[in-house]
Amino acid sequence: MNTADDQTLDVVEELRLRRWARINHVPMDDRDLSWHAVILDEMARRDAELEADDPGLPSERIAPLVEHRPACHAAHQPSGPRFLASPQRSGELYYT
């Protein structure tokens, strides 16, 4: 957008307006068309960026739940309690 206002802006002022436009970004319907052309241009650029970054519907961003737990390899299988694997030593117990 090349208007007379753009030609009178220095680089610092243009960057300041573009930064303001990014910080105060509003949807297209809420913009005032009397705002400076640089502001409107930067908001339009931000709209395009947001549209390109949009990953889709929230349902498309949710990972599906795993219905079953994958089995472990034999080396990683949990073993049972040790007291069940040890021989019973009830005859060695002494009661006093």
Residues 38-48: tens digit of each pLDDT: 999 999 999 99
* Cα–Cα dist 41/49, whole Å: 13
pLDDT at 96 over 50: yes
| Type of residue numbered 17 | L
pLDDT at 85 over 60: no
Going by C-beta distance under 8 Å and a sequence separation of 6 or more, which residues neighbour residue 62?
none
42 burial class (0-12, 13-18, 19+ CB within 10 angstroms)?
buried
- pTM metric for this prediction: 0.51
Token couple for 51: 């549209």
Token couple for 54: 């949009």
For residue 94, give Cα distances in angstroms to 83, 88, 89: 19, 14, 11
